[in-house]
C-alpha cells in the first residue's frame, strides 16, 4: 500500500515538474518569438523610414525628373505628357456644356449650365451608368456605341433651364482615364486599355474620333472640345473656383498628378505657343522612381509579383491599391517567423490583396480601448480569432507605418512640384509671368478615395507638406479636397476650349 502511494506521489511530482518545465520553456519560447515579432516590425520601420532629410532628397529627385521628362520624350520615368490644356476655366464661362467621364466600372454623363462670374453653376445634373461586363471585353466600336447611346439618351432628357445656344453644336468635355498620347486638346491616341478593360482593338486609334464616329451612328450632333484625364479634370474643376490652384493630385486606387507649367519650360513642346503662355502637364507620377525612396524587401516582392513589375514604383508605395497588401506581407512574415497568430499561418494571409486599404484605415483608426475593430477585421478578412490585445497593437502600429510612409512620400512629391514651379519658397526661378513669389498663394487640389476616406493619411500628408515647406511658405500653400472635380472639370474645359469662344 505504502509503496504504491509513494509511487503515485513520485509520479505526480514528476508530472508537476515536467509541467512546470513546459510552462517555463513555452514562456521563454514565446518571449523569444515576441522579440522576433518586434524585430521584424523594427526592421520594417527603419527600412521604410522617411526622415525629413530623406524626404528632401525625394523632393529634389522629383524636381530633377520633372525637368528631364519635360526636356525630351523618354527622358525620365515621368512621362510629363502634354495635355494641350492652355486655357483653364476662369469663372467667366457661360452656357450649356456636357461631360463624359470614363475610366472605372461606371461611366458618368453630366450637363451643366454656366452663368458667368456672377451666376456660376446655375444648374447641374449627372447620371452614372454601369458598363455591361461583356462590353469591357468586346470591341472598341461596341463600347463607344454604347457610350454614345447612353449619352444621346441623356441629351434627350435635357429639361427646362438648360439652354443650348441656337445654331450652335452642343460641346462636350471627355474625361478618359486611360493612357493616351495627346496630339491636341481634342485628340489623342489610346496607348493601352487598363483597369480590367480588355477591349480587342482601339489601341493606336484617336479616342475622340472613336467617340465622334459612334455619336454620328447615333445621330447625335455634339463636338468633343476637350479630351482630358481625371487629374487634369480635377485641376480644372478646382481652378474654376480658385485661381490659386496650380497642382492637382489623385490618391485613389492609383495615383497621378498634374500642374500648370510655363510654356518655355516645356522643351519638347513643338506646337504653336499656348494661348496663355502655360500648359497643364500630366505627370503620370505613379511611375516616378528614385533611389532615395525607402524601398523594403516587401516592396520588392510586391512589385515582382505584380502585373506590371518594374512599373509604377511610386504608386506601389503610396496608393490605395497597394497599402493594404504591404501590411499583409509584413504580417505574413510575422506569422511565419514568429508565430504572431499561433502555430499555424492563417491561410488567408497568403492571398494577395485580401487585406484592402479600407481595412487598414479602419484598423488604424480604431479608437476602442480593446481594439475591437482590429479584432473584427482580423477575423472577418483573415479568419484570425482570439487575438491578444498586444497583437492587435502590433497590427495597428504596422498600419500606421505603412500609411505614414505613403502619405509622407506623396507630400515630398507635391513639394517637388511646388519647387519646380517656384512656389516652395526656395527659388526665384521657374515662376509663371506675373508671379510675385513669396506672398503668392498656391492651392493643391486633391481627389481620390484614399485621401478622402482616410483621415490619418490625410493628416500625415498635410503635416508633412507644411514641415517640408517651413512655416513661412506653408502659410501660403493649401492642400484641399476637391471632390468630383473631374466630371464638371471636363465640362468647364469644354467651355474654356469652346469653338465659339472667339466668335
Q: Which cell numbers in the block locate residue 408? A: 509622407
Min CB(480)–ligand ADP separation in Å: 16
Distance, CA of 113 to CA of 120 (rounded, Å): 8
Nearer to Mg ion, 337 or 452 (CB): 452
Q: Does 228 bind ligand ADP (CB under 6 A)?
A: no
Give strand ranges (E) for 325-472: 442-447
C-alpha 60/C-alpha 290 separation (Å) is 10
Q: Which of residues 422-481 bind ligand ADP (CB under 6 A)?
A: 448-450, 453-454
Of 45, 187, 209, 253, the residue at the interface with ligand ADP (CB under 6 A) is 253
**Near ligand ADP by CB under 6 A: residue from 48, 76, 87, 357:** 357
Given a contact cutoff of 8 angstroms between Cβ atoms, the answer to whether 446 and 479 are in contact is yes
320 is a contact residue toward ligand ADP (CB under 6 A)? yes
By DSSP bridging, strand 222-228 and strand 187-190 are unpaired
Look at residue 164 and give the partner it binds from Mg ion, ligand ADP, none, a contact being a CB closer than 5 to 8 Å depending on partner kind. none
The answer to whether residue 237 forms part of the interface with ligand ADP (CB under 6 A) is no
Contact positions with ligand ADP (CB under 6 A) in 278-307: none
91 binds ligand ADP (CB under 6 A): no
Rg of the chain over CA atoms, in angstroms? Answer: 28
CA 6 distance to own-chain centroid: 75
Residue 186 or 404 with smaller CB distance to ligand ADP: 404
Binding mask 100-129 for ligand ADP (x = CB under 6 A): ----x-------------------------
Neighbours of 168 (CB within 10 A): 14
End-to-end CA, the chain: 119
Considering only residues 242 to 271 of the shown chain, the ones binding Mg ion according to CB under 5 A are 252
Angle at 311 between CA 305 and CA 312, to 5 degrees: 105
Residues known to be catalytic: 108, 177, 230
Instruction: State yes or no: residue 406 binds ligand ADP (CB under 6 A).
Output: no
Residue with Cβ nearer Mg ion (250 or 378): 250
Partner that binds at residue 357, options Mg ion, ligand ADP, none, CB closer than 5 to 8 Å by kind: ligand ADP
Q: Cα separations (Å) of 485 from 6, 93, 154, 257, 406? A: 86, 16, 20, 14, 23
Residues forming the site for ligand ADP (CB under 6 A): 104, 252-254, 320-321, 357-358, 361, 448-450, 453-454
Amino acid at each position: 500500500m505504502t509503496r504504491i502511494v509513494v509511487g503515485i506521489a513520485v509520479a505526480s511530482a514528476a508530472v508537476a515538474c515536467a509541467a512546470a518545465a513546459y510552462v517555463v520553456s513555452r514562456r521563454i519560447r514565446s518571449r523569444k518569438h515576441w522579440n522576433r515579432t518586434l524585430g521584424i516590425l523594427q526592421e520594417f520601420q527603419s527600412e521604410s523610414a522617411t526622415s525629413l532629410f530623406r524626404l528632401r532628397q525625394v523632393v529634389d529627385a522629383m524636381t530633377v525628373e520633372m525637368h528631364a521628362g519635360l526636356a525630351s520624350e523618354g527622358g525620365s520615368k515621368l512621362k510629363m505628357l502634354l495635355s494641350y490644356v492652355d486655357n483653364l476655366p476662369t469663372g467667366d464661362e457661360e452656357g450649356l456644356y456636357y461631360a463624359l467621364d470614363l475610366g472605372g466600372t461606371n461611366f458618368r454623363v453630366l450637363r451643366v449650365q454656366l452663368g458667368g462670374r456672377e451666376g456660376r453653376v446655375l444648374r447641374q445634373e449627372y447620371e452614372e451608368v454601369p458598363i455591361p461586363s461583356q462590353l469591357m471585353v468586346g470591341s472598341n466600336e461596341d463600347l463607344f456605341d454604347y457610350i454614345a447611346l447612353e449619352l444621346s439618351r441623356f441629351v434627350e432628357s435635357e429639361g427646362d433651364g438648360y439652354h443650348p445656344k441656337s445654331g450652335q453644336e452642343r460641346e462636350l468635355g471627355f474625361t478618359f482615364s486611360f493612357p493616351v498620347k495627346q496630339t491636341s486638346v481634342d485628340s489623342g491616341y489610346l496607348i493601352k486599355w487598363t483597369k480590367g478593360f480588355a477591349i480587342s482593338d482601339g489601341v493606336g486609334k484617336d479616342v475622340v474620333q472613336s467617340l465622334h464616329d459612334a455619336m454620328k451612328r447615333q445621330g447625335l450632333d455634339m463636338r468633343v472640345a476637350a479630351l482630358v484625364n481625371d487629374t487634369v479634370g480635377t485641376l480644372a474643376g478646382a481652378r474654376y473656383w480658385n485661381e490659386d490652384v496650380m497642382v492637382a493630385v489623385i490618391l485613389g486606387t492609383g495615383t497621378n498628378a498634374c500642374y500648370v507649367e510655363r510654356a518655355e519650360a516645356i522643351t519638347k513642346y513643338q506646337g504653336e505657343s499656348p494661348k496663355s503662355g502655360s500648359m497643364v502637364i500630366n505627370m503620370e507620377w505613379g511611375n516616378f522612381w528614385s533611389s532615395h525612396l525607402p524601398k523594403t524587401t516587401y516592396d520588392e516582392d510586391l512589385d515582382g509579383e505584380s502585373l506590371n513589375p518594374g512599373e509604377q514604383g511610386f504608386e506601389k508605395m503610396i496608393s490605395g491599391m497597394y497599402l493594404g497588401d504591404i501590411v499583409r506581407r509584413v504580417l505574413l512574415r510575422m506569422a511565419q517567423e514568429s508565430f504572431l497568430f499561433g502555430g499555424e499561418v492563417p491561410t488567408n494571409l497568403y492571398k494577395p490583396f485580401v487585406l484592402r486599404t479600407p481595412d487598414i484605415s479602419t484598423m488604424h483608426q480604431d479608437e476602442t480601448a480593446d481594439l475591437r475593430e482590429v479584432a473584427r477585421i482580423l477575423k472577418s478578412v483573415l479568419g484570425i480569432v482570439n487575438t491578444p490585445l498586444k497583437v492587435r497593437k502590433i497590427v495597428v502600429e504596422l498600419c500606421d507605418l505603412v500609411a505614414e510612409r505613403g502619405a509622407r512620400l506623396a507630400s515630398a512629391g507635391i513639394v517637388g512640384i511646388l519647387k519646380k514651379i517656384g512656389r516652395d519658397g526656395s527659388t526665384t526661378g521657374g515662376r509663371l509671368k506675373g508671379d510675385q513669389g513669396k506672398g503668392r498663394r498656391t492651392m493643391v487640389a486633391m481627389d481620390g478615395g484614399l485621401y478622402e476616406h482616410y483621415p490619418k493619411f490625410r493628416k500625415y500628408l498635410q503635416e508633412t507638406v507644411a514641415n517640408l515647406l517651413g512655416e513661412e511658405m506653408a502659410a501660403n500653400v493649401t492642400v484641399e479636397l476637391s471632390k468630383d472635380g473631374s466630371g464638371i472639370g471636363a465640362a468647364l474645359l469644354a467651355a474654356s476650349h469652346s469653338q465659339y469662344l472667339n466668335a
